[in-house]
């Protein structure tokens, strides 16, 4: 009685099937991970929007804007002796941040950040761009703010699943202007909406 082994063709077919299944599983895992991170970012932005609104109601202005989220973090949850607590009407802290939500520069990190020293994968916060001399007409961001993440690649306005989460080409806030930020075209620095653009 002879024992029959696998032929070379059978082995190659088996290896090919295993490779195809592993590829499908890997792609689905990456897709699910990115969807989970986008959902996490949406939730975090929603919490920030609520905290910013409470700050605005209490103080009459939006939190300070230094073109990063460090000033936002400081305004919403300052240290005990920070002078921001003396702003008339301030009743915070409005939102407390965990250690893993802040990088070493005090900026709020997004779900794609790569450690405490990552300054690329952070939330961007802009408020009252009409008061910013580096921007120019049409001025339209006098009554709102912008907060967004650049996504997994850390670049604004790129890719379907790699960072184009803040600009969707629609007039989400009904001000008659569509999303305008396009670093390769207009270069005017305007950011249109906030969480609605995801």
Is the residue at 33 inside a domain? Answer: yes
| 115: in domain | yes
Q: Is residue 167 part of a domain?
A: yes
What is the Cα–Cα distance from 123 to 76, expressed in whole angstroms? 14
pLDDT for 137 equals: 45
Is 3 part of any domain? no
Is residue 107 situated within a structural domain? yes
Question: pTM of the entire structure?
Answer: 0.67
The confidence score (pLDDT) of residue 171 equals 55
* 2 within a domain of the structure (yes/no): no
Residue 134: what pLDDT?
Answer: 55
Tens of each residue's pLDDT in the chain, 198 residues: 556 777 888 899 999 999 999 999 999 998 898 888 888 888 898 899 899 989 999 998 888 887 678 989 999 999 999 998 999 999 989 999 999 999 999 999 999 888 899 888 888 887 765 555 555 444 444 557 777 787 777 766 544 333 333 444 555 555 555 544 444 444 444 444 433 333
pLDDT at 130: 54
H helices of 60-187, where? 70-76
Contact 103, 117 (CB under 8 A): yes
End-to-end CA, the chain? 67
In this prediction, residue 194 carries a pLDDT of: 38
Number of domains in the chain: 1
Full domain range(s) for residue 193: 8-197
Nearest to 147 by CA among 74, 91, 196: 196
Burial (0-12, 13-18, 19+ Cβ within 10 Å), 122: buried
Q: Are 55 and 39 in contact (CB under 8 A)?
A: no
Residue 1 lies in a domain: no
Residue 53 lies in a domain: yes
């Amino acid at each position: 009685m002879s024992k029959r082994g696998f032929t070379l063709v059978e082995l190659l077919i088996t290896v090919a099937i295993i490779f195809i299944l592993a590829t499908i599983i890997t792609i689905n895992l990456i897709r699910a991970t990115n969807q989970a991170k986008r959902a996490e970012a949406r939730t975090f932005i929603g919490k920030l929007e609520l905290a910013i609104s409470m700050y605005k109601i209490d103080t009459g202005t939006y939190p300070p804007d230094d073109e990063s989220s460090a000033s936002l973090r400081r305004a919403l949850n300052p240290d005990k002796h920070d002078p921001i607590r003396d702003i008339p009407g301030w009743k915070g802290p409005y939102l407390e941040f965990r250690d893993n939500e802040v990088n070493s520069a005090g900026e709020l990190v997004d779900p794609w950040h790569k450690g405490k020293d990552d300054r690329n994968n952070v939330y961007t916060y802009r408020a009252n761009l009409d008061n910013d001399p580096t921007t120019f007409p049409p001025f339209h961001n006098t009554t709102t703010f912008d907060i967004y993440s650049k996504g997994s690649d850390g670049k604004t306005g790129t890719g379907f699943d790699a960072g184009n989460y803040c600009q969707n080409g629609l007039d989400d806030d009904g001000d008659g202007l569509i999303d305008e930020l396009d670093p390769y075209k207009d270069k005017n620095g305007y950011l249109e909406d906030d969480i609605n653009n995801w």
